[in-house]
Amino acid sequence: MEHKASVLENLADVRAMIKRHKRNDALFATLGLICLMLGLMTLMLLFWQLIADGHPKFNLDFLTEFPSRRAGRAGLLSAWVGSLLVMSVTFLTAVPVGVAAGLYLEEYAPKNWFTDLIEINVSNLAGVPSIIYGLLALGLFVYMLDFGQSILTAGLTLGLLILPIVIVSTREAIRAIPVSIREAAYGVGATKWQVVYDHVFKYSYGGILTGIIIGMARALGETAPIITIGALTFIAFLPPSPITTEPPFLNFEWLSSGFTVMPIQMFNWLSRPDHAFHVNAAATGALIIVVTLLMNGAAIWLRYKIRKNIKW
């Protein structure tokens, strides 16, 4: 083909070529949109199905009644209280441990093959199937440490499960802080801890919080490890209240109490032959999704709110 020098001399050819190239643009944009819709629509459809099936149970009684043999009267009370208590144990263990571990790994740990190994393993742990955590917990918490099939065991298990998520998101949040800010702090004579506490932690807690909430949302829906450690599926009582009217006003008996959580209750209802219970299961599923979406929404909002005043 003869070499032609300028665009002007070959205007028609050049325009045809640009048009051809732009077709690829349109092609990919369409393909991408279809893929996105596939994922999104599936989720929406599922959610819609749950709402359609479960809507007769969208009332306050559903939240204030214990499970029952009669589907119409059965409620979620013991399950959502159980979820709440288990999540508090998870929060209280995974957050301090995960954040401290992340801060240590990022700021204090020497960089050598050993910490590299730990790094790789922490990331890998996030991908371990949750039932493996259940087996570990069964051996460690239930049998070895004799915590029983309790709220404490479940909370610790889910804590372990989300620990890698908390550690990884803590480290990512810390890494977003530019070197220049650290150097500025070291430059006026700050110690490592002063830099970590006054700056690194304070500027990254939006991101850390996001990781924590996303981890908690994941823990909320986990079923497999909880079944493995032996949660009850039919429970018509509440654990002892953590707060009492008499001094010292705190009570830790609930930690060793039997329990159930929302996904297990849902699983239980779903496995019954009586279709009336499936309505309850659908309503529970919808509730779990709503709470999870709310938590993720809160995470996004918090991150936006906290990051608003920080421009690097």
Partner 1 sequence: MATVTTAIKAEARDLNFFYSNGARALKGISMPLYENKITALIGPSGCGKSTFLRCFNRMHDLYPGNKYQGEIVMHPDNTNVLDSGVDPIEVRMRISMVFQKPNPFPKSIYENVAYGLRVRGENNKRIMDDKVEEALKGAALWNEVKDRLHDLAFNLSGGQQQRLCIARALATDPEIMLFDEPTSALDPIATANIEELMVELRSKLTILVVTHNMQQAARVSDYTAYMYLGELIEYDDTDKIFTNPGRKETEDYITGKFG
Q: Which residues bind partner 1 (CB under 8 A)?
A: 110-111, 178, 180-191, 194, 198-199, 203, 309-311
Secondary structure in 3-state letters for 180-202: HHHHHHHHCCCCHHHHHHHHHHH
Alpha-carbon distance 187 to 46, whole Å?
Answer: 55
Q: Residue 27 or residue 310: which is nearer to partner 1 going by CB?
A: 310
CB of residue 193 vs partner 1: minimum separation in angstroms?
A: 11
CB of residue 191 vs partner 1: minimum separation in angstroms?
A: 6
CB of residue 112 vs partner 1: minimum separation in angstroms?
A: 9
Who contacts 8 (Cβ-Cβ below 8 Å, separation ≥6)?
Answer: none
CB of residue 303 vs partner 1: minimum separation in angstroms?
A: 15
Q: Residue 15 or residue 305: which is nearer to partner 1 going by CB?
A: 305
Q: Take residue 52 and report the two structure tokens written for it.
A: 């359609």
Who contacts 171 (Cβ-Cβ below 8 Å, separation ≥6)?
Answer: 102, 105, 106
End-to-end alpha-carbon separation of the chain, Å?
52
Alpha-carbon distance 248 to 4, whole Å?
Answer: 91
Q: Residue 107 or residue 172: which is nearer to partner 1 going by CB?
A: 107
Across the chain, where does the E strand assignment appear? none
Q: Residue 117 or residue 128: which is nearer to partner 1 going by CB?
A: 117
Q: Residue 185 or residue 262: which is nearer to partner 1 going by CB?
A: 185
Peptide bond preceding 273 in cis form (omega within 30 of 0): no
CB of residue 196 vs partner 1: minimum separation in angstroms?
A: 13
Q: Residue 203 or residue 267: which is nearer to partner 1 going by CB?
A: 203
CB of residue 114 vs partner 1: minimum separation in angstroms?
A: 14
Tokens 């214990």 label which residue?
Answer: 66
